[in-house]
Amino acid sequence: MKKFIEGLHKAFESRVRLGIMSALAVNDMLDFTSLKEYLDVTDGNLASHLKALEKEGFIGVKKTFVERKPNTRYSMTRVGKTAFEAHLEALEALIRSQK
């Protein structure tokens, strides 16, 4: 049991962070609004989880202007991809252990 838990990364414990990483795994880049719609969370909630993932180095942020409006786009880093895949593998092992 311990080995499953050790494989799970604390940074991905939250549902919202699992959702962010999943969304960024299948989309090269997503802006704040798209992520918000994907996950149906509040601005503050999404922003705080994005910040945490950015701090871990798991996502990258690109700020530009689209039609003179600021636009912030997020993408998964290589480190993030590796860590997220390892997390999903640990979850899979845990699920398998239950069957």
Q: Say whether residue 28 binds its own copies (CB under 8 A).
A: no
What are the beta bridge partners of residue 61?
Answer: 74
Tell me, by CB under 8 A, how many residues bind its own copies: 26
In DSSP notation, 13-61 reads -SHHHHHHHHHHHHSS-EEHHHHHHHHT--HHHHHHHHHHHHHTTSEEE
Q: Say whether residue 19 binds its own copies (CB under 8 A).
A: yes
Residue labelled with tokens 């593998």: 89
- Site residues for its own copies, 36-95, by CB under 8 A, read 38-40, 88, 91-92, 94-95
Q: Which residues bind its own copies (CB under 8 A)?
A: 1-2, 4-5, 8, 10, 13-16, 18-19, 22-23, 25-26, 38-40, 88, 91-92, 94-95, 97-98
